[in-house]
Amino acid sequence: MGILSILLCVPLVGVLVLQFFPKRKFSAHRVIANLTTFVTLILTIYLYFPFQTGQEMQFVEKVSWFTFGSFEPISYSIGLDGLSLPLLMLTTLVSFIGSIASIYIKERTKQYYSLFLLLEVGTIGVFLATNLVLFFFFFELTLITMFFLIGIWGYSKKERAAYQFLIYNGLGSAFLLIGIVGIYVYFGSVDYDSLMKVIPISSFNPFTWTLLTLLLVAFAIKLPIFPFHRWMLLVHVQAPPSVVMIHAGILLKMGAYGMLRFGVSLFPDYMEYISTLLAVFGLINLLYGAILAFAQQELKSVLAYSSISHMGIILLGIAAANQVGLQGAVLQSISHGLLSALFFFLVGALYERTKSTQLENLGGLAKSMPIYSGILMVASLGLLGLPGLSGFVSEFFSLLGLFERHPIYASVGTLGLILAAVYTLRALLSVSFGEQKKSISHQDIAWKEWLPMFFLVVTIVGIGVYPDLISSTLNHTLETIVSDWRG
Amino acid sequence: MVIKMINFAWTIPLLPLLAFLIQLTLRTKGKKLWVSWIGVISTFLAFLYAVFLLLQSFVWNRAITDWKVDWLHIGSNVITVGASFTPIQIAMLFIVSLVSCLVQLYSMGYMKDDGRSNTFFAYLSLFTFSMLGLVISPNFLELYFFWELVGVCSFLLVGFYFDRESAKQAAKKAFIVTRIGDVGLFIAICLLYWQVGSFDFAVVKQAVDTNQLSAGMLTLIAILIFVGAVGKSGQFPLHTWLPDAMEGPTPVSALIHAATMVAAGVFLIAETYWLFEASPTALTVVAYIGAFTALFAAVIALTQTNIKRVLAYSTISQLGYMMLGLGSLGYGAGFFHLLTHAFFKALLFLVAGAVIVAFRHEQDIRKMGGLWKQQKWLAVMFLIGSLSIAGIPPFSGFFSKDEIFLAVYHSGRYTLFVAALLAAFCTAFYMFRVYFLVFTGKEPGEKTKSLSWHFQVPIWILAFFSIFAGFVQFPSHILGEWIGVTESSTLWWIPVAVTLIALLGVFLAYAIYQRRWVSAAKIAKYSGFGYRLSYRKFYVDECYQAVFVWTLKGLGWILMGWDRFILGGVAQFIKLLPRQLGEIGSFLQNGQVQRYLLISIFGTLILLLSITAGRLIG
C-alpha cells in the first residue's frame, strides 16, 4: 500500500477506533478525532518534501477495479501533482483545525466525529483521484456526510439547510455523472492522463461543448456561481461553525479544483474560448457578493456573501487563461480556505459566548476579549486582501492575469478590492469596536482556542509573505497546462 | 566596518520590526516603561544608521549597496524584493526615523496614563517598519506592499480609542478612502507589468526612456499612480479622511498624518518622476489638483475651531503645495518642501498635543487662551512652527515655499501662481489665528498642567530643524545638487511678494484675534454663506454620503430583495418540481444511514447501466 492509500485509510481507522468507545466518552472521541486528523496533516507535510517539482503525477498507485467489455478498465488510481498537492495540504490542515474547533459540539459526538472523519476521507480522495469515476465516488462521499453533519448538528433551520444542500448538490452530481458517462463513452477513458492525450485540441464540436457545459454547471453549483448560490447561504448560516470550516474551507474549493482539472486542463482551448463569459460571471460573483455582504445584518451571512465574492476572484483567475491567472485562482482557493476556516472558528468561539451573531447585538468586544479581537482583526485584514497576508497575493495574481486578456473587466474587478474593505471593516468594527453592548463581559478565548487559530494565522502570513511556498510546486503543473494555449 | 555597514543598509527596517514583535509579545506582561523604550531605542538605532548613510552619500558621495533577492514567481518570471538607496530615499530614511524616534519619545509622556500603551507602542513600531520599508523599495510591487501596510497602521492608530464611535468611524473612513486611491496604483502596477514585464523602477525607467510605451499608455499609468498619491496624501477629492483621522492620539497625527505617511504620495511621485516627465498631461493634472487642494484646504482651515483640524487642513494644503511644485517641473522644490514640512508640521502637532494636555484634553481653540503667561516655551515653539509654515524668512518653510513659487512661475501657469499666493495668505492667517487664540488673551482660571521632559526634548529638536533645515538649499543649493536637480534662475521679487503676503495674513490675524479691532463674529455674520461653506468644509462629506454611501446601501437593499425573493423563489420552485425528489427527501428524514446507502448503491447501478448502454450506442 502506497503512502497515498495510507493517507486515505488513516481517517477510516479513526472511524473504526471511535466505534469501540462508549457514547458518553466525549473527551475520548475528541482526542481520537484530533489525533487522526493530526496524523493526516503530518503525512501530507511529509509528502511535501519528497515531492519533485517539475514532474507530473507522483506517488501513483493504480489497481484495476472493474471493466466494461472492450472499454478501458476503470481502476482505483490515485496520485499527486502540483495542482493537487497544495489543495491536499489545505484539506488536512483545515480538517485538523476543524476537528479541534469541534469542541463546541456537545451532543452525539461519536457519530459527529465518525461522519467528520468520513468527510475527510471524501475530501482527501477528491484531490487524490486520478480518474473521473473515483473522483465522483469521493465527491459523493462528501455530499452524504455533509448532509448529515448539517442536518443533525446545525442551528434552528438545519433540516431546511440540509435538504437544500442535498438538492442543489444532487442536481450538480447528476450533471457531473452524465458528463462523466459522456466522456467515458465518447473518449473511451476516464483517466486524466489518457484523456489529456485523447481529447483533441482546437477542434470544437457540439458534443464536447455539451460535456464541458455539464461539468462546468456541476462545478458552478459547487463553487457556487451566481445564480446557483442560494444553498450555500443557508449552509453557512445554519451548519455548525466547525462544519462550515470544512464546507467553506475545502468543499467550495472542490468546485474550483474541478474547473481547473476537468475544465482547463482537459479542454484548454474551449476554456480559452469562453474566457469572456467566465470573466463576466466572475465579476457578477465578485460585485454581487460584495454588495450583498455589505447589506447583511448577521455575521455569518456577511461571511457567506463574502465567500461568493471571493469565489468570483477564482473565476476571474481562470478567465485570464494565462499562467498568472491560474496561479491566482489556486492561491485564492488556498487563501480563502484558510481564511474562512479561521473565520468560522472565530464565529464558533463567539457564538459560544454571546449566543448571537447578529451584528446589532455585538460591539466593543475588544475590551473584554483582546486576543479574540486581535485574531479577528488579522482575519479581516486577510479577507480584504492586505499585503503580507495570503489574500493579497491571490487577488493580485488573479487580477494581474486578467489584465493581460481583459483589461477593462479587470479594472472593474478592482472595485471588488474597495467593496471588500467596505463590508469587512463594517463587520469587524461592529463586532470588536465601539461601546460594549451588554454590561456582561465575556471571557477571552483560552489557549485551546487561540493556539490552533494562531497556527492558521502563521500559515496565512507565511503564504502572504512568501507565496512561493505554494507557487513553487504549482508552477510546473500550470506550465504544462498553459503550454496548450501558447501552442 | 564602514564597508560592511554600507552593504547591510537594507536591514534598517528590521530593527523596528523586531521591536514590534517583542512589544506584541509583551503586550500584557511587559512593564510599560520598558516596552516604550524598546520602541524608542530600536528606532534610534535605525536613525543612527540613516545618519551614517546620509553622511556616506551626502558628504562623501559614496554609493550605498543595493540589495535584492528572489521573492516570488509570476509564471516563469522571477520577482525580486530588495532595497535601493537613491539620495531622496536616504533623505526620507533620515526624516522618517528621526520623526518616528522623537514622536515615540514624546508618546512616553503623552500616553503615560493609557492602559493600552503597550499596544500603542507596538503599532508605532509596526508603522515605522512599514514606512522605512516603503521608502527603500526598489520596485512597484514591494512599494505597494508597504504602501498598504502603512495604511493599515494608520487605520489601527486612528481607531486606537476603539470604544469611541467617532474614532471607529474615522478609522473606517481612513482605510476605505485611501483604498480607493490605492486601487488606482494597483491598476497602474498591473498595466505596467504587461507593458514592461517587470516591477523594478530601473527597468521601467529604461522602458520609458527608450519609448517602449505609447504616449497614451504613459499618461494613463502616470495619472493612475497619481490617483494612489491623491488618496494617501489627502489631495482633493480624496482628502476627507485626513481631518477625521485626527481622532487618533496626537503623536500619531504628528507622525503619520503630518510628517511621514501622508507625504508618501508626494514621495511616490518624486521617485517615479521620470514617468511624469515623459507625460506633460499627467504633470498638468498633478499641478492643477495640487494648486486647487492647497487653496481649498487653506480656505477651510480659516474657520475650523478644533486645533487639530486646523492643522490637518493645513497639512492637506501644504501637501497640495508639494504636488503643485512637482507638477510644475519643480522636482527639487516639491521634495524640499516635503522635507521642511515634515519638521515644522511635526513640531506644530507636538506642540498642539502639549497644549491639549496642558488644557486637560480640550481641543477647541475658542475655549483656550493666555497660555503664553504660563508656558512661555510652548508659545515660542508654536511661533517658530507658525512662522516657518507661513513662509517668513529665515525659517525653513520660507525657502521651500519660495522654490515652489519659482517653479510655478517658470511653468507659466499664472492662475496657479495666484492661487498659491492666496493659499499662502490664508496659511499665515489661520496659523496666527490659532496662535493668538491659544496663547494670548485671558489666562485660564485653572493652572495648566506642566509637562515632563518627554514632551520637551522632541519639541526642541524639531524646532531646531524647523529653523535651520532651510539652509540645505540656501545660500548654496547642496540639497538640489545631491538629488540631482539643476538650479533655475531666481527672481528677486518672488521671495519679497511671498513674504509680504504672509505678513499681511499675520497682521490681519493680529488685528482680529489679538487687538480685536474687528470682531471675528461680525465678519462671519457678514460673509454669511461663504463662512458656512468654509466652516462646513464645502459640504464634501455630505455629498459623498448622499452619492456613494446611500447608493451602495440602496443597491444593497434592492439586491437583497432580489436575492431573497426572486432567486430564493426559484430555488423553492426547483425544489418542488421533481416531487419524487422531495419524497426521497422525506424518506431520508429518519436519518438512517442504511437507506442512504441503498440509494447510493442504486445510483451506482444507474451509473453502471448507463455506461453499458453507452457502449451499445457507441
Find the CB nearest A291 among B194, B559, B593.
B559
Helices and strands (DSSP H and E) totals, chain A: 22, 2
Binned at pLDDT 50, 70 and 90, residue A81 comes out as confident
Would you call B559 and A404 a contact, using CB atoms and an 8 Å cutoff? no
CA B60 to each of CA A6, B56, B143: distance values in angstroms, whole numbers, following the listed order: 66, 5, 28
Count of A-B CB contacts under 8 Å: 173
**Is residue A136 assigned to a domain?**
no
CA A294 to each of CA A290, A308, A420, B120, B585: distance values in angstroms, whole numbers, following the listed order: 6, 13, 9, 30, 34
Q: What is the pLDDT of residues A244-284, one digit of tens each?
A: 999 999 999 999 999 998 888 888 888 888 899 999 999 99
Longest dimension (CA), chain A: 74
Calculate ∠ Cα A360-A361-A366, nearest 5°: 100
pLDDT at B427 over 80: yes
3-state secondary structure B243-305: HHHHHCCHHHHHHHHHHCHHHHHHHHHHHCHHHHHCCHHHHHHHHHHHHHHHHHHHHHHCCCC
**Is residue A141 assigned to a domain?**
no
Per-residue pLDDT, averaged over B479-492, amounts to 76
Query: What DSSP element (H or E) covers B79?
Result: strand B77-83
B198 contacts: CB under 8 Å, gap ≥ 6: B77, B139, B204
**pLDDT reported for residue B586:** 58
Burial class (CB in 10 A: 0-12, 13-18, 19+), A19: exposed
Q: What is the pTM of this model?
A: 0.91
**Is residue A124 assigned to a domain?**
no
Q: Per the structure, how many domains does chain A have?
A: 1
Would you call B190 and A475 a contact, using CB atoms and an 8 Å cutoff? no
Per-residue pLDDT, averaged over A415-444, amounts to 85
Helices and strands (DSSP H and E) totals, chain B: 29, 2
B483 contacts: CB under 8 Å, gap ≥ 6: B87, B88, B91, B331, B332, B335
Mean pLDDT of chain B: 86
Per-residue pLDDT, averaged over A160-164, amounts to 86
- Between CA A449 and CA A348 the distance in angstroms is 10
Calculate ∠ Cα B400-B405-B407, nearest 5°: 95
Binned at pLDDT 50, 70 and 90, residue B307 comes out as very high
Would you call A184 and B614 a contact, using CB atoms and an 8 Å cutoff? yes
With beta carbons under 8 A apart, name residues in chain A contacting B553.
Answer: 294-295
**Is residue A34 assigned to a domain?**
no
Peptide bond into A370 cis (omega under 30): no
**B interface test, pick of A400, A404, A472 with most B CB neighbours within 10 Å:** A400
3-state secondary structure B94-146: HHHHHHHHHHHHHHHHHCCCCCCHHHHHHHHHHHHHHHHHHHHCCEHHHHHHH
Per-residue pLDDT, averaged over A67-91, amounts to 85
**Is residue A139 assigned to a domain?**
no
pLDDT at B123 over 50: yes
Would you call A291 and B180 a contact, using CB atoms and an 8 Å cutoff? no
- Residue B158: CB atoms within 10 A of its CB come to 28
pLDDT at A59 over 50: yes
Per-residue pLDDT, averaged over B589-613, amounts to 59
With beta carbons under 8 A apart, name residues in chain A contacting B149.
Answer: 386-388
pLDDT at B595 over 60: no
With beta carbons under 8 A apart, name residues in chain A contacting B191.
Answer: 403, 407
CA distance B450 to chain A (A): 31
Per-residue pLDDT, averaged over A317-326, amounts to 90
pLDDT at B85 over 70: yes
Q: What is the pLDDT of residues A361-404, one digit of tens each?
A: 888 888 888 889 999 999 999 999 999 999 999 999 999 999 99
Per-residue pLDDT, averaged over B556-582, amounts to 74
Query: What DSSP element (H or E) covers B430?
Result: helix B414-439
**pLDDT reported for residue A487:** 46
**Is residue A244 assigned to a domain?**
no
pLDDT at B296 over 70: yes
Would you call A323 and B149 a contact, using CB atoms and an 8 Å cutoff? no
Would you call A291 and B611 a contact, using CB atoms and an 8 Å cutoff? no
Would you call B168 and A411 a contact, using CB atoms and an 8 Å cutoff? no
Residue indicated by cell numbers 447583511:
A296
Strand partners, A74: A66
Full residue range of the structural domain in which residue A435 is found: 274-487
- Between CA B253 and CA B260 the distance in angstroms is 10
Would you call A295 and B75 a contact, using CB atoms and an 8 Å cutoff? no
**B interface test, pick of A178, A396, A412, A472 with most B CB neighbours within 10 Å:** A396
Nearest CA in chain B to A426: B172
pLDDT at A351 over 60: yes
**Is residue A295 assigned to a domain?**
yes
CA distance A40 to chain B (A): 26
Find the CB nearest A471 among B73, B175, B600.
B73
Would you call B559 and A433 a contact, using CB atoms and an 8 Å cutoff? no
Q: What is the pLDDT of residues B214-268, one digit of tens each?
A: 889 999 999 999 999 999 999 989 999 999 999 989 999 999 988 899 999 999 9
Would you call B162 and A159 a contact, using CB atoms and an 8 Å cutoff? no
**pLDDT reported for residue B561:** 85
The closest alpha carbon to B220, from B246, B265, B189, belongs to B189
Find the CB nearest A291 among B171, B555, B568.
B555
With beta carbons under 8 A apart, name residues in chain B contacting A291.
Answer: 552, 555-556, 559
**pLDDT reported for residue A368:** 84
Asked whether the beta carbons of A149 and A239 are under 8 A apart, the reply is yes
Nearest CA in chain B to A420: B176
Nearest CA in chain A to B155: A425
With beta carbons under 8 A apart, name residues in chain B contacting A435.
Answer: 163, 165
**Is residue A372 assigned to a domain?**
yes
- Between CA A313 and CA B545 the distance in angstroms is 28
Would you call A230 and B75 a contact, using CB atoms and an 8 Å cutoff? no
Would you call B171 and A432 a contact, using CB atoms and an 8 Å cutoff? no
Calculate ∠ Cα B400-B406-B411, nearest 5°: 130
